[in-house]
């Protein structure tokens, strides 16, 4: 009796960037230059036009189009779309793995994140806090899980200064008339992390166009808002197999609130606490 061997599993499909990487040595000099840009800046490509890439590389826009066609795509938009799809697949929520060391890995990654946060220069944090303290209004925005962080940041900051409001960019996008309330004296504190919300990108760009100062708090990827942000903090998000860590965002929000309180010398907090006592907000 003979048995038929089980078929070998098919290899996982290569991403567009993998294909470029494996073919790199076969390209000419200019194509190697363009390919390396796509490999090194894959997370930025979904937000860049062919013209912007061409300007960076000091080549023509047609050179980018011809390169995309030579490597098997209809043109740059097709290559861009495939890279975007690849990123969505790799940056999406992962399925949980084995449970034997989840707890140990979780605490190890949280400690690593906190250690990395200590490397943020104090001057950068102070500049963030001073911009928040000096603003007429503080808009705190995010989408999905980032909106949850925005709500926490609003709660903390509102204890120390007036006119702090958290907004879901998904809801703002459905009510764009709220942009009429923005002035150039305001700041918007933006929380965003991969996968970057299209609503957040679109709404914050609209705010920026109205002159608001953009303070971006993001992960260590390539946020599409990085180019327009007046100030940016990139935080580590090393987490479990399933989720990125949100703890660094809460820690930094708390630290910024402490720095804002110091800048404003606590006057608003004293008034707020007096009102809490008058209305019996707390049991004790």
Q: Which residue bears the tokens 């073919």?
A: 23
Nearest residue to 187 via CA among 162, 167, 207: 207
Parallel, antiparallel or unpaired: strands 138-142 and 164-168: parallel
Which helix (H) or strand (E) is 53 found in, with range?
helix 50-57
Count up the domains in the chain and report the number: 2
φ/ψ (deg, to 5) at 162: -80, 170
- Kindly report the number of other CB atoms within 10 A of residue 111's CB atom: 11
φ/ψ (deg, to 5) at 104: -65, -45
User: Is 11 within the bounds of a domain?
Assistant: no
User: Is 34 within the bounds of a domain?
Assistant: yes
pLDDT value, residue 95: 53
Whether residue 58 sits in one domain with residue 139? no
pLDDT value, residue 272: 75
DSSP output for 78-112: HHHHHHHHHHHHHHSPPPP--STTHHHHHHHHHHH
- Residue pLDDT, tens place only, 10-40: 444 688 988 898 888 889 999 999 999 998 8
pLDDT value, residue 242: 64
pLDDT value, residue 117: 92
Whether residue 176 sits in one domain with residue 75? no
pLDDT value, residue 76: 94
Q: Which residues of the chain have pLDDT under 50?
A: 1-12
């Amino acid at each position: 009796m003979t048995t038929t061997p089980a078929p070998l599993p098919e290899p996982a499909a290569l991403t567009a960037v993998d294909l470029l990487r494996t073919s790199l040595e076969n390209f000419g000099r200019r194509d190697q230059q363009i390919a390396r840009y796509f490999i090194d800046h894959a997370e930025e490509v979904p937000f860049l036009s062919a013209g912007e890439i061409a300007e960076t590389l000091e080549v023509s826009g047609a050179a980018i189009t011809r390169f995309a066609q030579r490597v098997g795509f209809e043109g740059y938009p097709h290559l861009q779309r495939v890279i975007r799809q690849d990123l969505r697949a790799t940056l999406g929520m992962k399925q949980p793995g084995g449970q034997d060391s989840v707890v140990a890995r979780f605490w190890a990654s949280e400690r690593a994140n906190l250690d990395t946060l200590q490397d943020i220069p104090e001057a950068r944090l102070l500049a963030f806090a001073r911009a928040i303290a000096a603003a007429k209004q503080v808009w705190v925005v995010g989408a999905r899980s980032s909106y949850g962080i925005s709500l926490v940041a609003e709660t903390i900051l509102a204890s120390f200064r007036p006119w702090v409001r958290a907004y879901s960019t998904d809801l703002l996008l459905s009510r764009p008339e709220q942009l009429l309330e923005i002035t150039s004296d305001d700041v918007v504190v933006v929380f965003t992390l991969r996968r970057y919300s299209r609503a957040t990108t679109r709404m914050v760009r609209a705010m920026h166009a109205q002159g608001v100062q953009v303070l971006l708090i993001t992960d260590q990827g390539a946020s599409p808002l990085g180019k327009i942000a007046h100030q940016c903090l990139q935080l580590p998000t090393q987490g479990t197999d399933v989720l990125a860590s949100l703890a660094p965002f809460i820690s930094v929000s708390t630290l910024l609130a402490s720095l804002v309180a110091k800048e404003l010398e606590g006057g608003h907090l004293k008034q707020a606490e007096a009102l809490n006592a008058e209305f019996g907000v707390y049991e004790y």
